Amino acid sequence: MKKWMVLFLAAILTMGQLACKNESSENLPSAGEAALDRPEPTGSAVLEFISKRDDYRQWPLYPGKIVLSPGRHPHGSLLITYVSPNTLKALRNRTGRLPDGAILIKENYSRQKKLLSTTVMYRLEGYNPTGGDWFWLKISPNRLILEEGKVKECIECHRAVQNNDWIFSDSVE
């Protein structure tokens, strides 16, 4: 009888510790929000961050977007657009400029719903003032880095919407 009672009490204590751990971690910012926990502006660091340290697939979708929204070249016919929590907050508050550490991620799909690539915009104050301080990244479906950094094609295309903080979707103001 004592053995069962000890096991029962141990189980209750363990469950209580887990509940406290989950409760306290809910109040902490995710890695996407933490000011001091940002990746360096390299493809490998950003890829590690968005896939392992703060899985972007757990982030919210861009406001007003649905899974497999219509897309256009060069991204894909269909898109899933995720935003880091600090980006979502800025978009909802219409701050006019997305914050340092903001991340937008597009999974780019064909009409047949086949993943073609994943593209990332990562704001890093002072990184590239002539390109809106955005770090650009393009990743293959098998997680190979195809392009990274101050990608000329990305900057040239997004320059058309530099007055909207270099993003095409919705107004940031």
Q: Are 135 and 151 in contact (CB under 8 A)?
A: no
Distance CA 25, CA 40 (A): 24
Q: How high does pLDDT run on average in the chain?
A: 83
pTM (2 d.p.): 0.77
Cβ proximity of 167 and 161 under 8 Å: yes
Percent of the chain with pLDDT over 70: 79
pLDDT at residue number 1: 52
**pLDDT interval class at 29 (50, 70, 90):** very low
The DSSP secondary structure of 8-66, one letter per residue, reads: HHHHHHHHHHHHHHHHHHHTSPPTTT-TT----SSHHHHHHIIIIIS-GGGSPBPTT--
User: pLDDT tier at 20 (50, 70, 90 boundaries)?
Assistant: very low
User: What is the Cα–Cα distance from 98 to 91, expressed in whole angstroms?
Assistant: 7
The pLDDT confidence band at residue 96, using thresholds 50, 70 and 90, is: confident
Domains and CATH numbers, the chain: 31-164 (3.50.70.20)
